[in-house]
Structure 1
Amino acid sequence: MGKVNQLFKDLMARFGKGAAKVDLILNRNQFQLGDVAEGKLVIQGGAAEQKINKIDVRLMVVIRYDETEYVHAVTSIPFYESFTIHPGEYKEFPFQCQLPYDLMISGHYVTYFFNTELDIAGGIDQKDRDYIEILCPQSLQQVLNALNHLGFREKHDSRKFNGHVQEFAFFPTDFLQGKAEELEFVVAVQPDGVRLLLELDLISFGHEKELKREVFIPNHLLESEDGLVSELKRILEEMAEYAHTDYHHDSHYGHSYHGHSHHGHGHHSSGMAGAVGGFAAGVVGAMVVNEMLDNDDGDDDDGGLEGFFEDED
């Protein structure tokens, strides 16, 4: 009778009932770019002895783009060693994963999770899913804090992937309220500071007008909360002041400004396309474009940052 019961348990385990379980337990679930995710993999034996071929852990990104959800593997951490797990046996393995530096930041349109799969010989594989959050780098967070101080609030559709890079979007609640509808930017985090391509959508005589300006904010200014707030306010006021002109000049930090109407894009070469791609889209962004979105329209950017914004027309 005991042998019959065991045969029944073995059969049920093959179909997933009473099978071994896998659980990835992380020490934390919030990370900065480049952090090491650490924890342990726990295997709990089921009702029958089972052979485990391998354990696969993959970091997955989920991107909502153009009303479609795309899921892609960022990196894989395989455990190729096979072993046998006995009924009720407990096994534990250390886990470590170096997170890339060029991931997009978590938001409503970008999410990440570790997908753990237990490959069971002759049975149904068991899976576990653990969501993590990729936080803004400190230098970028300081910019967000300064904008918040000025009364800009991040929109629900901020941090979305536009097919090239990740965009941050805000609406005014105090400063520039009634004059501006939206502030967007793409960002390149550099060792010596942060480079932004700002796009300010202004209301001018009942028509929307877009103004773009590329600025570089050095580390010493990022470290001064009051100074950063004052500088961002100055830059945005200057953009709004020249809303009715097609004005070009050197800014305080030596970076160019170019205003244009909604239907006219000026040619502005900055050489920063690689830097913005390196942070804001990165390897993941390139894979999304090339493999997930099958974006093969052959459009070329003009060499500057402006091409990274979606053309609303």
Structure 2
Amino acid sequence: MGFLKKMMAAVGVGGARVDARVDQSAVRVGEDLTGTVIVQGGSVEQRVERLNMGLATRYRKDDQYVTHTLFTRPVLGGFDLRPGETRELPFRFTIPQGTPLTLPGTSVWLVTDADIAGAADPGDTDHLQILPSRDMETLINAADRLGFRLSASEVEYHHGRIVQELSFKPPYGQYQLSELEMMIFPATGGLDVILEVDRRATGLASLFTSEFEQKGRWHVPDGLLAQGPDAVARELQTRVRQLS
């Protein structure tokens, strides 16, 4: 019977279980996520080599979506887990800068797994609501002040890193563009932003294409962000008009 139990545990039947319970499902970029990992022993003793936690998302590649691990790290070294034993292990880690925001079209989840010698590794996933950092929120609120409405987001993989593109619909009749897109990156002394506008074509150009795309780079310094959304909105409006 002992041999059978070990064989079953090796393929995940009657083996250890892992369950992560977060203290808060919504957390800002740059702030700490806390919670408890509960490891429940199965029907046989098992050696847990390592307990790992991390974040994952999906990005679009061609016409399909690819699951991507944003980061993973061990939170506890090896230990022996007796049959039926329960261990509760608190955890805390910072949501890294560059983590995609949870928006329509984008999801992020917590991944917890245990490396178990000679057995199927149990795991757990928990979806999170990733909120913008305070600086990112100021920039998004600045766009809102100008009448732009956040409509969608998409995660892509560029030059070895994950990039999230935020799409905004402009207020009717105020700008000669159909969409404003932003990519926001953490930077020393502020934020780096790539702005892209889809301009409506007029005149002779409209016979050949319906829209033009124009990009611009913008470093938003800490000093401007500290002045709040209204000050950032004035600078954003100038840059959008220059591009459109």
Does the 8 Å contact 1:150/1:175 carry over to 2?
no
Match in the other structure for 2:224: 221
Quick one: distance in 1 between partners of 2:91 and 2:192?
35
Quick one: distance in 1 between partners of 2:174 and 2:144?
13
Cα deviation digits, residues 15-49 of structure 1 (max 9, x gap): 54443321112222333333333222212234x23
| Amino acid aligned to 1:237 | R
Residue 131 (structure 1) aligned to one of 108, 121, 127 = 127
Q: Which has more radius of gyration? A: 1
Q: How does 1:66-85 map to 2 (within 5 A)?
A: 66-73=62-69, 74-85=71-82
Report the count of equivalent residues: 232
Residue 92 in structure 1 maps to residue 68 in structure 2:
no
The offset of 1:121, in angstroms, is 4.8
Cα deviation digits, residues 131-163 of structure 1 (max 9, x gap): 23432221121121121232212232x243263
Match in the other structure for 1:50: 45
Distance 1:150 1:86, change over 3 A: same
The offset of 1:83, in angstroms, is 0.7
Quick one: distance in 1 between partners of 2:150 and 2:179?
10
The offset of 1:92, in angstroms, is 1.5
SS in 1 for 2:57: strand
Distance 1:189 1:97, change over 3 A: closer
Quick one: distance in 1 between partners of 2:216 and 2:148?
18
Residue 208 in structure 1 maps to residue 196 in structure 2:
no
Quick one: distance in 2 between partners of 1:208 and 1:123?
56
Residue 167 (structure 1) aligned to one of 152, 165, 168 = 165
Residue 23 in structure 1 maps to residue 26 in structure 2:
no
Quick one: distance in 1 between partners of 2:12 and 2:214?
58
Quick one: distance in 1 between partners of 2:6 and 2:144?
59
Distance 1:109 1:161, change over 3 A: farther
| Amino acid aligned to 1:77 | P
| Amino acid aligned to 1:20 | A
The offset of 1:65, in angstroms, is 2.7
Q: CA RMSD in A?
A: 3.1
Residue 191 (structure 2) aligned to one of 183, 189, 194 = 194
Quick one: distance in 2 between partners of 1:185 and 1:15?
46
Does the 8 Å contact 1:187/1:195 carry over to 2?
yes
SS in 2 for 1:140: helix
Quick one: distance in 2 between partners of 1:68 and 1:139?
32
SS in 1 for 2:107: strand
Quick one: distance in 2 between partners of 1:209 and 1:142?
28
| Amino acid aligned to 1:153 | R
Quick one: distance in 1 between partners of 2:213 and 2:68?
34
| Amino acid aligned to 1:236 | V
Report the structure, 1 or 2, having the larger strand content: 2
Q: How does 1:5-16 map to 2 (within 5 A)?
A: 13=9, 16=12
The runs of 5 or more residues in structure 2 that have no matched partner are none
Distance 1:69 1:175, change over 3 A: same
SS in 1 for 2:96: coil
Quick one: distance in 2 between partners of 1:221 and 1:121?
53
Does the 8 Å contact 1:44/1:91 carry over to 2?
yes
The runs of 5 or more residues in structure 1 that have no matched partner are 241-313
